[in-house]
Amino acid sequence: MSATAHPSDTEPVADDSPSKEERLAAFLREKAENGDLYFKSKFIADEVGLSPKEIGALMVKLKDSACGLTIEKWSYTSATTWRIEPAN
């Protein structure tokens, strides 16, 4: 048997598609265009193509980054509710 690696197994793939964080931020900007948006990760997971757990982790990152949104952990009842509004 050969121990050689295939290039596709070891080299990163150049991909022009947006990252998960960029995809989520774009989705939130679009949904919050007309005012505040309240949501739980589990209810938008399919629309964004991410798991609720991934969304929760990304929301913490987005909250601290300048992405044109104001993000607030708004409430917790069986899952975190997030409040999103366009940044002024």
Residue 87: per-residue pLDDT: 81
- Give residue 12's pLDDT: 54
Architecture of domain 20-86: Orthogonal Bundle (1.10)
1 exposed, middle or buried (CB, 10 Å; 0-12, 13-18, 19+)?
exposed
Domain boundaries, the chain: 20-86
Segments of the chain scoring below 70 in pLDDT: 1-15, 66
* Nearest-angstrom CA–CA distance, 40 and 53: 11
Tell how far CA 24 is from the center of its chain.
3
Res 6: pLDDT: 53
Measure the CA angle with vertex 29, ends 60 and 26; round to 5°.
75
Task: Report the pLDDT value the prediction gives residue 51, as an integer from 0 to 100.
Answer: 97
Q: What is the pLDDT of residue 45?
A: 95
